[in-house]
């Protein structure tokens, strides 16, 4: 009997040990299976679904962007930081129109000043605002790309260099490490440099030899060489009294050049040479106040010209609104009305800042509702052709 009892005891221990070992093995197997499963999920996850700390909003192709470009511009410059802006410049490197390319850029429209400024100043403004708002941080990159041009290559390269230097200066002034990646898109086709009047290669210079009909040929129409024999009276450029060579802009947008040839008129002003943005006034509606000349009172507690009175809902502070003092007599603070004397029981007092009007003068336009036209700066000249009426790119 004693032997059987001992045998049952040993058997019980063996069964318990086997159960414990089985449970431990299952736990390890489950952990290994879960680990393998997690690894497989990560390995099979497409790269496009993994977070990219350097990701920026995707922008349309250049050809799609340029479908909304103005008819006349010198350079089309894409500034991409996320926010991203599309800037169009005239031949003075001034931004005469621009477009926000994403929602972040739209949110900065009230904070950046671009139109009418040089592109160097405009991009400096974009960079500073992006730094202030946290869009551009340490080790950030400012991408500046010329995606289209109707100007000369050397002018574009000079402009890109100036922009890069501006951004370097901003980084130094603000003690932050930011870089710029200025470039000219490889598909950009530039126009040939137009020689100035003192350029020895200027067409019509009698000192330059050339084949007939080529720049510098003494037989070229319009050449000022006094020794040139009188040309055929039917030849363009001849001093025919009927060939006035003026620049009168007509409704068809064409002008007669000095050599009698038709010159295409500026498509922005239709050949008039007059700024089309300000209705020939030199002034445009103020963007800050939208032409009203006034803005809502800036005090946060001003409600249509009134502020909350520091009383108890219009009740007299002495009698609590009962109109009776402690001795049963009429309250002398409110003359028995129970109303707070300053607000007359309304609970509101006139705003001291706007004097009850609810608005204040716009400081941007000094209350006029108008500001200087950023297209012509008050000169009334078309910014695209500088008042000549002639298409600068034809």
**Per residue in 4-37, pLDDT tens?**
556 566 666 666 666 666 555 545 444 444 443 3
Bridge partners, residue 294, by sequence: 361
Task: Give the residue with greater pLDDT, 315 vs 229.
Answer: 315
Distance CA(200)–CA(223), nearest Å, equals 14
- The pLDDT score that the predictor gives to residue 60 is 87
At 174, is the pLDDT very low, low, confident or very high (cuts 50, 70, 90)?
A: very high
At 41, is the pLDDT very low, low, confident or very high (cuts 50, 70, 90)?
A: very low
| Residue 167 CB coordination number (10 Å) | 21
Supply the mean pLDDT for the chain.
75
What's the rounded mean pLDDT across residues 191-197? Answer: 62
Query: What are the phi and psi torsion angles at 167 (to 5°)?
Result: -65, -35
Read off the pLDDT of residues 246-299 as tens digits, 9 standing for 90 and up.
444 444 445 555 555 556 677 667 788 888 778 778 888 887 888 889 999 988
| Residue 322 CB coordination number (10 Å) | 13
What's the rounded mean pLDDT across residues 228-248? Answer: 48
- The pLDDT score that the predictor gives to residue 165 is 93
How would you classify the pairing of strands 370-372 and 75-80?
unpaired
- The pLDDT score that the predictor gives to residue 42 is 36
How would you classify the pairing of strands 84-89 and 95-100?
antiparallel
Bridge partners, residue 100, by sequence: 85
- The pLDDT score that the predictor gives to residue 213 is 43
- The pLDDT score that the predictor gives to residue 31 is 47
3-state SS, residue 124: helix
- The pLDDT score that the predictor gives to residue 381 is 85
What's the rounded mean pLDDT across residues 211-221? Answer: 46
At 220, is the pLDDT very low, low, confident or very high (cuts 50, 70, 90)?
A: very low
pTM for the structure as a whole? 0.42
Question: Per the structure block, which two tokens stand in for 312?
Answer: 């108890």
Read off the pLDDT of residues 61-107 as tens digits, 9 standing for 90 and up.
988 899 889 989 999 999 999 899 999 999 899 999 999 999 999 99
Distance CA(362)–CA(370), nearest Å, equals 10
E strand intervals along the chain: 75-80, 84-89, 95-100, 141-149, 179-184, 254-256, 262-264, 283-285, 294-296, 306-308, 348-350, 359-361, 370-372
Terminal Cα distance for the chain, rounded: 121
3-state SS, residue 301: coil
User: Poorest-confidence range of 13-22, 219-228, 384-393?
Assistant: 219-228
Read off the pLDDT of residues 123-146 as tens digits, 9 standing for 90 and up.
999 999 999 999 999 999 999 999
Burial 63-74 (b: 16+ CB within 10 A, else e): eebeeeeeebbb
392 has a pLDDT exceeding 90: no
User: Poorest-confidence range of 53-57, 91-95, 350-354?
Assistant: 53-57
For the chain, give the percent of residues with pLDDT over 90. Answer: 29
What's the rounded mean pLDDT across residues 296-318? Answer: 88
Count H helices and E strands in the chain, helices first: 5, 13
What's the rounded mean pLDDT across residues 220-238? Answer: 50
Query: What are the phi and psi torsion angles at 2 (to 5°)?
Result: -65, -35
- The pLDDT score that the predictor gives to residue 191 is 84
- The pLDDT score that the predictor gives to residue 111 is 86
Q: Which one, of 156, 90, 168, lies nearest residue 124 by Cα?
A: 168
- The pLDDT score that the predictor gives to residue 376 is 82
């Amino acid at each position: 009997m004693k032997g059987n009892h001992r045998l049952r005891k040993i058997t019980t221990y063996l069964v318990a040990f086997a159960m414990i070992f089985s449970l431990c093995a299952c736990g390890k197997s489950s952990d290994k299976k879960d680990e393998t499963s997690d690894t497989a999920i990560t390995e099979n996850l497409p790269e496009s679904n993994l977070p990219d700390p350097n990701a920026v909003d995707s922008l349309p192709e250049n050809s799609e962007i340029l479908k909304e470009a103005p008819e006349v511009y010198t350079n089309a410059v894409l500034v991409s930081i996320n926010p991203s802006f599309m800037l169009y410049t005239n031949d003075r490197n001034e931004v005469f129109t621009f477009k926000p390319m994403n929602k972040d850029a739209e949110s900065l429209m009230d904070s950046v000043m671009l139109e009418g400024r040089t592109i160097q100043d405009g991009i400096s403004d974009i960079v500073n605002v992006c730094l202030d708002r946290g869009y551009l941080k340490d080790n950030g990159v400012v991408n500046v790309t010329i995606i289209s041009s109707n100007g000369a290559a050397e002018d574009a390269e000079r402009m890109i260099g100036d922009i890069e230097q501006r951004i370097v200066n901003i980084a130094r002034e603000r003690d932050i490490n930011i870089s710029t990646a200025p470039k000219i898109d490889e598909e950009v086709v530039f126009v040939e440099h137009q020689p100035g009047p003192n350029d020895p290669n200027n067409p019509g210079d009698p000192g330059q030899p050339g084949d007939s009909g080529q720049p510098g040929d003494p037989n070229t129409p319009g050449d000022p060489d006094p020794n040139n024999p009188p040309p055929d009276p039917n030849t363009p450029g001849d001093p025919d009294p009927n060939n006035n060579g003026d620049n009168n802009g007509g409704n068809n947008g064409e002008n007669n050049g000095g050599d009698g040839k038709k010159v295409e008129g500026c498509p922005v002003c239709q050949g008039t040479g007059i700024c089309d943005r300000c209705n020939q006034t030199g002034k445009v509606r103020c963007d800050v106040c939208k032409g009203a000349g006034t803005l809502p009172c800036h005090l946060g507690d001003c409600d249509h010209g009134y502020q909350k009175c520091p009383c108890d809902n219009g009740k007299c502070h002495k009698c609590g609104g009962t109109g009776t003092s402690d001795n049963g007599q009429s309250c002398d603070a409110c003359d028995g009305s129970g109303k707070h004397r300053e607000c007359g029981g309304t609970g509101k007092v006139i705003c001291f800042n706007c004097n009850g009007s609810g608005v204040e003068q716009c400081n941007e336009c000094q209350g006029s509702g108008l500001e200087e036209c950023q297209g012509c700066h008050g000169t009334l000249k078309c910014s695209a052709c500088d008042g000549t009426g002639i298409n600068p790119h034809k």
